[in-house]
Amino acid sequence: MLNIAVLVSGGGTNLQSIIDGIKSGFLKDVNIKFVISDREGAYGIERAEKAGIETLVLDRKIYKKELSAKIFEQLQNKVDFIVLAGYLSIVAEPLISEFKDRIINIHPSLIPSFCGKGMYGLKVHEAAINYGVKFSGCTVHFVDENTDTGAIILQKVVEVKNDDTPEKLQKRILKEEHEALPLAIKLLSEGKVVVENRKVIIKE
């Protein structure tokens, strides 16, 4: 059984995709042990409570630079993996080293495009449209000491249409996110993900 903690900041639709994956049997050997939010009032916490999952709010306005240390205190020796699902705070030490290759994130672009500091939410899709790319998508990747620079596990591609707005593009990419994140977790739970330097190999 793969015990995970899911970190959220907002509505938690990616969290819901994991909950639904467990309920449907797609994620057979996965258990969400904790859902942690870095802000009060995140609807992701309500989703977790409805599903009977233990929740915790560690407000980033209160803990500031100590936030990652507080999360580590809660999760040490209790979970195997940490999943960032719309989590907007920067993950820092000691989480990075103590959970090396055991933290994954989903980002709403094809990394390395439109990622890094300040690139989140609609800003990502606005940048993609303004640049004129023909394709965007989402990326599930490991988390390292920098922002959106960890090894890529998998990506889903979405066409950018001529009449797209950031909201329209976001909606279509979000649909792919809801498939990509549970799939990545499934592959991890089945021991099919191997990391060699920057390359992630998915075993058959």
Look at the block and give the residue holding tokens 């960032």.
84
Q: From the candidates 107, 125, 141, 178, give the one annotated as an active-site residue.
A: 107
Q: State the distance between the two ends of the chain, measured CA to CA, in whole angstroms.
A: 20
The torsion angles phi and psi of 141, rounded to 5 degrees, stand at -140, 160
**Cβ-based neighbour number of residue 20 at 10 Å:** 14
For residue 87, with 0-12 CB atoms within 10 Å meaning exposed, 13-18 middle and 19 or more buried, which class applies? buried
**For residues 204 and 151, what is the distance between their CA atoms, to the nearest angstrom?**
19
Active site residue 107: yes
For residue 71, with 0-12 CB atoms within 10 Å meaning exposed, 13-18 middle and 19 or more buried, which class applies? buried
Give the catalytic positions in this structure.
107
